[in-house]
Chains A and B, each alone.
Chain A
């Protein structure tokens, strides 16, 4: 007789995402496994399997003897319904064993909209949601890593600990610590004490937060000798670091269904709104020789016919031209498409795009982020109108007729003039098409997208208030009214989601109850418009007596203690404040290559100065 899972699978959408069995999946012998890890990605299979961090850690953990790391993803609604109806607990793709069978339950949380999925997955796995309800034995230790743990406070009640920073070395140390604790028969509390001694491990329950009457934090008190600051871990030697070349090839289409080659970590630019730009510092490149070796091995192992060169601001890879030429010599005769999704709008990039797109021509996307030079200077997005227009002209002359332009609305110091500036810039791009296109009969499409600016922790704008959703929508309407052309399409992000993101990313522990309540009300998959329910979230806030506007729309005082201050990304608060002041003067800060700006990230790097 067919088992329950196999009876359900034919009824759900895209069942291949629930079965495992893909090429290069790692199967180990349970009998000789000492530590079982459920690597949980709080989103769908298609999103999670596109995440390079997950692939790196899956590879590293499975290289450990006696350790088996398996994958779990959030089920889509139809599958979740079936699981709940038949009381079928969430299972790992490799062994099909339930979450309860695992020692370590590790979540990779990339952004705040995944929080509700973490709770939902724990519930589907029959694991108590709150750390304090998980007993004192050494089973089901729930921890998390990823960008979100730079402020894990809204999740503090649910995570036993956080792994802060890059996991290549840190996760191995954590698993070894667990293995030793298991051998010695330690209790959960004893293990947490031991693991908290590993640099980069943050145990929220070892810290007490006290509050002023106005709701801001009075003091964060480390308990029982917990470290005052937990600094993120980084990989010191990028060329020597593990990088997976023999990775799982999904049997069903995923979002990034191709080989991903990571060129470097960090970013020299310092755009003031960009969390990634600061929290992945310092800049650490891989050598072109190492990259070539990884690329060829990855392509040959996977059989993919497409490869993405991945990093923040890829144009800043010092030897990009040379490396891309070498890579193209390999790719072109084999019909392999090379994609560079993160190039700056300069001449060099357009030339490179033309070379690269000999195999297949895709769209062009530029992200000026703001409509006027004054505001671009304020956010330190060092791209000029001239750069953008020149790049567009070259691209139009080369036959491109579709351009996407990305902007943000609600940036600090933004006025209506800046909003209208977006429309003016867009019309200049359209004019450039008219002047340079060799074939005007095909027409031109310029897609303008605006996102609702979210002030993020770990950026110079961490003190800023977000504008209200009403004000954001007013600016969207103003911009729309200024771009009546048929060739221009305008799309703006919905306001609710960005407001919730603003609440959660700078939230404190008072939001734990809100998260729990939102989960009870059925919130999940918040990053998907199919599922996101702002009314449920608002009800959760109101049920818990928490005002979301206090988090999203309140400007913080210079000396306010932030909830996330125990965790350090290696960049000083002083630097961020200096950058904020420079923003208000519309003063740009040179990139790291021109001059070290003393952010502090270099101190994380034992190998000498950054970016060498």
Chain B
């Protein structure tokens, strides 16, 4: 299996997961390369992206699996070949062969930036850190049957709170990536629920790294 590591930042964070999937085969074609097709009634180029990224979340550790039709293309040349053809904000960082299965991917490190238009005090910063040390953190989660309460504490390995500016805090968090997965926006949901006076005016998430079960970087 061929794999790409790519980043999705800037304007590209608003491109949905499905649109991103649809984009990649076209990028390969623009570069004069071909991705293997599925068989069946409606053949289409097969690509698969690990851990669908929510609209509005940026990342520098996205993984895409594919198989190239051409077998004489050195994979390390792919970033330079593909990068001229992306929309603004998407860039391939590396390309390689991997036999590691995506299901081995276990943890995700991400930074959630909390923005306070009226500023945020050091006390507030401490209270938020304390919140994520609680034994149980119940948040409301949308499910098919409506809103349900879920304890997200088991899905959180660690959350460190640091100050970026007088009005911005960063939650450096290590959370479960899949089975079950935790949407980092639920960390903000927890603040809104337990510390409503510390609810940010805006929050954005950025994925920084993915790990396997033993906290080794997953590639």
Residues of A within 8 A of B (CB): 1-2, 7, 9-10, 14-16, 18-23, 25, 249, 251-253, 300-305, 335, 360
A412 → chain B closest CB, angstroms:
44
Can you show 28 pairs from A to B with CB atoms below 8 A apart?
A1-B117, A2-B204, A7-B202, A9-B14, A10-B56, A10-B204, A15-B56, A16-B14, A18-B14, A21-B10, A21-B11, A21-B12, A23-B85, A25-B87, A251-B15, A251-B87, A252-B15, A253-B19, A300-B29, A300-B30, A300-B32, A302-B26, A303-B25, A303-B26, A303-B28, A305-B25, A335-B37, A335-B43
4 smallest CB-CB distances across A and B, nearest first, come from A303-B26, A21-B11, A10-B56, A21-B88
The interface residues of chain A lying within 8 Å CB-to-CB of B10 are 21
How many angstroms from the CA of A2 to the CA of B204 in the assembled complex? 9
The interface residues of chain A lying within 8 Å CB-to-CB of B167 are 1
How many angstroms from the CA of A22 to the CA of B26 in the assembled complex? 13
How many angstroms from the CA of A527 to the CA of B10 in the assembled complex? 33
Q: Mark B19-49, 1 if CB is under 8 A from A, else 0.
A: 1001101111110100001000011110000
The interface residues of chain B lying within 8 Å CB-to-CB of A335 are 37, 43
The interface residues of chain B lying within 8 Å CB-to-CB of A19 are 11, 14
Q: Contacts A251-B23, A303-B29, A335-B43; is A23 near B87 (CB within 8 Å)? A: yes
* Least CB separation from B201: chain A residue: A7
4 more A-B residue pairs beyond the given contacts A1-B167, A21-B10, with a C-beta to C-beta distance below 8 A:
A16-B16, A23-B86, A249-B26, A305-B45
How many angstroms from the CA of A253 to the CA of B16 in the assembled complex? 10
B7 in the interface (beta carbon within 8 A): no
B115 in the interface (beta carbon within 8 A): yes
The residue from A2, A10, A21, A305 contacting B29, defined by CB atoms under 8 A apart: A305
The interface residues of chain B lying within 8 Å CB-to-CB of A9 are 14, 56
The interface residues of chain A lying within 8 Å CB-to-CB of B168 are 1
Q: Which of B11, B26, B43, B56 has the most CB of A within 10 A?
A: B11
How many angstroms from the CA of A10 to the CA of B204 in the assembled complex? 9
A302 touches B87 (CB 8 A): no
Residues of B within 8 A of A (CB): 10-12, 14-16, 19, 22-23, 25-30, 32, 37, 42-45, 55-56, 85-89, 115, 117, 167-168, 202, 204
A2 touches B16 (CB 8 A): no
B30 touches A21 (CB 8 A): no
The interface residues of chain A lying within 8 Å CB-to-CB of B56 are 9-10, 15
The interface residues of chain A lying within 8 Å CB-to-CB of B115 are 1-2
The residue from B55, B85, B88 contacting A10, defined by CB atoms under 8 A apart: B55
A360 touches B202 (CB 8 A): no
How many angstroms from the CA of A249 to the CA of B29 in the assembled complex? 13
Q: Which of A2, A16, A249, A335 has the most CB of B within 10 A?
A: A16
* Least CB separation from A19: chain B residue: B11
How many angstroms from the CA of A253 to the CA of B18 in the assembled complex? 9
How many angstroms from the CA of A389 to the CA of B23 in the assembled complex? 41
The interface residues of chain A lying within 8 Å CB-to-CB of B86 are 23
How many angstroms from the CA of A20 to the CA of B10 in the assembled complex? 11
A585 → chain B closest CB, angstroms:
50
* Least CB separation from A4: chain B residue: B202
* Least CB separation from B85: chain A residue: A23
How many angstroms from the CA of A217 to the CA of B210 in the assembled complex? 73
* Least CB separation from B202: chain A residue: A7
The residue from A7, A18, A253 contacting B22, defined by CB atoms under 8 A apart: A253
The interface residues of chain B lying within 8 Å CB-to-CB of A302 are 26, 30
The interface residues of chain B lying within 8 Å CB-to-CB of A18 are 14
How many angstroms from the CA of A301 to the CA of B168 in the assembled complex? 42
How many angstroms from the CA of A303 to the CA of B28 in the assembled complex? 7
Q: Contacts A1-B167, A305-B25, A360-B42; is A252 near B16 (CB within 8 Å)? A: yes
How many angstroms from the CA of A360 to the CA of B16 in the assembled complex? 26
Q: Contacts A22-B87, A23-B87, A303-B25; is A15 near B37 (CB within 8 Å)? A: no
A16 touches B42 (CB 8 A): no
Q: Contacts A1-B168, A7-B202, A335-B43; is A21 near B22 (CB within 8 Å)? A: no
* Least CB separation from B42: chain A residue: A360
How many angstroms from the CA of A7 to the CA of B167 in the assembled complex? 15
How many angstroms from the CA of A7 to the CA of B115 in the assembled complex? 10
The interface residues of chain A lying within 8 Å CB-to-CB of B89 are 21
A14 → chain B closest CB, angstroms:
8
How many angstroms from the CA of A20 to the CA of B11 in the assembled complex? 7
A351 → chain B closest CB, angstroms:
23
The interface residues of chain A lying within 8 Å CB-to-CB of B204 are 2, 10
The residue from B19, B32, B37, B45 contacting A251, defined by CB atoms under 8 A apart: B19
A339 → chain B closest CB, angstroms:
14
How many angstroms from the CA of A301 to the CA of B43 in the assembled complex? 22
Q: Which of A23, A25, A304 has the most CB of B within 10 A?
A: A23
The interface residues of chain B lying within 8 Å CB-to-CB of A7 are 202
B39 → chain A closest CB, angstroms:
12
How many angstroms from the CA of A251 to the CA of B27 in the assembled complex? 11
How many angstroms from the CA of A432 to the CA of B26 in the assembled complex? 41
B88 touches A303 (CB 8 A): no
The interface residues of chain B lying within 8 Å CB-to-CB of A20 are 11, 88
How many angstroms from the CA of A249 to the CA of B26 in the assembled complex? 10
B204 → chain A closest CB, angstroms:
6
